[in-house]
Each structure stands twice: as structure tokens, then as C-alpha cells.
Amino acid sequence: MKKKILIIEDDKIVRENTAEILQLANYEVITAENGKTGLEKTTFFKPDLIICDILMPELDGYGVLQIMMRNKSLQRIPVIFMSAKTKHEDIRRGMDLGASDYITKPFEESELLSAVASRLKRKEIMEHNGKHESTVNKKWRIEEIEKAFKHNEIIEYKSGTTIYCEGSISNHIFYIVKGEVKTFKINHDGKELITEIFSDKNFFGFTSLLGNKPYVENAEVIKNSEIIRIPKHDFLNLIKLNPQLALNFIDLITNDLEFVKDHLMHLAYDSVRRKTADAILQLQEKRGNHKAIEISRSDLASFLGIAKETLTRTLTDFKDEKLISTNKNEIYILNRSKMQKIQ
């Protein structure tokens, strides 16, 4: 049976061209010229996926998505925003409301088809396993994977220990029972850029898992840690025998890639104040909202891609504004709502 796709777009030429591309790719296509009509057709036809413009008469794309998220029968339909709006805040708003992806106009045919295929495949996997994208289920997926390797030896690593180096053979993936690890790359000038910071109950080192490729980054312990080292062949053998576990791990990898993509968007488009605030909020969320963030100024500056002096000035401003307090390398959030509104 053909997959059914609804295109909500007020520009007739864009709407018809997009419909033609999808029809030639063997999709069943329905179209709507504005958000209000699109929502009515969504309710009636129950499409497998929606491609929606943002700026439209009657009801804009944001409004369509907000209404869908309040309707249990519609909230699991993936929505790809398609717009000429390229500002980070526009993209972020759409993703925060629940959009699955964002394509900027003008787009290539291959870009459209790739986004559609990947979102339909993800929806199929989610429906097959009866999963919802929620914090509870994400935790469940992690715990299921953790159980599979709970008998592996736990190794203690001191802060400053190198776990692996970029270019080295990837024989293992790693699971943090307790502690913190940073992954980073070094540019030609010797400058370090942290790609991610992992804490309790996180996997890392899996980017080179599939295929005989070396590690693509460095990994170093930044807080005394207890880590399970899992041989690659053991892990691959286990997921071959357990398709459910394989799907769980794919979902974890997807979440990690989405985090990295979001982090890169912050680095590219946000002000220093905005990306510093977001990094602090993200790091606290990883540790549990009740915990302090313990990270050196050098590592936090590297994570943000800014000079240490710039970070120090920004943190001082945050303290003066009563947004945070600090104690050596510890950062405490005092006013989360104001931090979230920083531009």
C-alpha cells in the first residue's frame, strides 16, 4: 500500500512541484492550500506524513502543529516543516513544538525524498514496537540495553585518563555507570573542540561501531568514572540475536545525533549569552535537574567554541543577574525560566 503524504503549502507552484516529486516516487499525495484546510484534511485522511509550510493564511504551520499535538489521534503523525525561514529561532521553535524535520526552500529533490523516507521509516519502527517519544520510554530503552551488559567488568578511570584517541582502532564501545567523559576533536592549530559530554548511564564510542572504521574523535575522563568496556564483537553478536535491542540502540544513536545537530546549530547561530545559557541548561538536564554542573571553565569554553575569557565574562554577567551561582568548578542554576528566555 502506498504511503499517504499531505502537503500543506499556499504557494501553488511549490505545492504542485512538491506533489509531483512525491508522486513520481510512488507516494499517494494530498494537497491543501492553507493551514485550516490542511488540518481538516489531516483529520479526515489521517496521512502517514505531513509536509507543511510555516507562513500561510488562515492558519500558519506552527498553529497546525500545536493543534495536532493536542489531538491524540494526530500527534504521532510526523511533520516536516518546509519554509524559507532559516533563522535558528524559527527552526528551533518548530522542533520544540514537535516537528520531525525542517527543510529550507529552495530544496533539492534528493533532500526532500531523503527526509520523507527517513521519517516514514522511523514512524514504522516506532509503531511496530509501540513506542512513544517520551522521557519515560527513553529511560526504559537505556535500562534494557544496560541489563544486557550488567555482568561485564566495571573499570575505574581517574580524571584526565584518555579512553581512546581519534584514528585508533575501534574495538570497544563504552557505558558509563558513574562519572563523566568528554569527546573532542583537535583542529590543525591544536585547539580542542568538545563534541559532547557524557555522564551517568550514557553510551559513547559507538560512532565507529558499524564498519571497521577508527574512532572519529578523542575521549577523555573529566570526572572519576566507573565504565563498562564492551567488546565490539560481543555487542554486535548480541544485537544480531535480539532485534528489539538493536532497535533500542538505533534509537539511542538517533537521539545522540539529534543532540549534536542541535549543539552545532547553537554554535553557528546563537549569541554567546544564548548558547552559554543553553549549554548550562542541557548539562544540568543530563545530570538531573537537582544537581550542580561540575565542569572546568576550559572544558565549558571548548564545548561552546569560545575563548575562556569570553566565557568567564558571560558567567560573571549571569551571576550579577542572579541567574546562576558558582563554587569553584560548580555551577548552580538559580532562575531556570529567565535562563531559557536569554537571547
- The answer to whether residues 79 and 39 touch, using CB atoms and an 8 Å cutoff, is no
Cα first-last separation, the chain = 47
More confident residue, 94 or 295: 295
Q: How far apart are CA 205 and CA 231, in angstroms?
A: 11
- The answer to whether residues 50 and 97 touch, using CB atoms and an 8 Å cutoff, is no
* Per-residue pLDDT tens digits for 59-71: 989 899 889 988 8
Interior angle at CA 129, CA 125 and CA 132, nearest 5: 85
More confident residue, 246 or 210: 246
| Closest among 223, 233, 237 to 293, alpha carbons compared | 223
| Per-residue cell: 284 | 544540568
pLDDT of residue 118: 82
Q: How far apart are CA 84 and CA 74, in angstroms?
A: 25
pLDDT higher than 60, residue 152: yes
198: part of which helix (H) or strand (E)? Answer: strand 192-198
Which domains, ranges and CATH numbers included, belong to the chain? 4-129 (3.40.50.2300), 136-257 (2.60.120.10), 270-340 (1.10.10.10)
- Banded model confidence at residue 339, pLDDT cuts 50, 70, 90: confident
Give the burial class of 236: count Cβ atoms within 10 A of its Cβ; 0-12 exposed, 13-18 middle, 19 or more buried: middle
Give the burial class of 308: count Cβ atoms within 10 A of its Cβ; 0-12 exposed, 13-18 middle, 19 or more buried: middle
| Per-residue cell: 288 | 538531573
pLDDT of residue 64: 92
- The answer to whether residues 58 and 89 touch, using CB atoms and an 8 Å cutoff, is no
Q: Cα 4 from chain centroid?
A: 26
Q: What percentage of the chain reaches a pLDDT higher than 70?
A: 78
Q: How far apart are CA 335 and CA 343, in angstroms?
A: 15
**Strand residues in the chain grouped as ranges (E):** 4-8, 28-32, 49-52, 79-83, 101-104, 154-157, 162-164, 172-186, 192-198, 202-204, 218-231, 293-294, 324-327, 330-333
pLDDT of residue 192: 86
- Banded model confidence at residue 140, pLDDT cuts 50, 70, 90: very low
pLDDT of residue 168: 87
- Banded model confidence at residue 221, pLDDT cuts 50, 70, 90: very high
* Per-residue pLDDT tens digits for 15-35: 999 999 999 999 999 999 999
Return the CA Rg of the chain.
22
Mean pLDDT of the chain: 82
pLDDT of residue 132: 42
pLDDT higher than 80, residue 327: yes
pLDDT higher than 80, residue 125: no
pLDDT higher than 50, residue 138: no
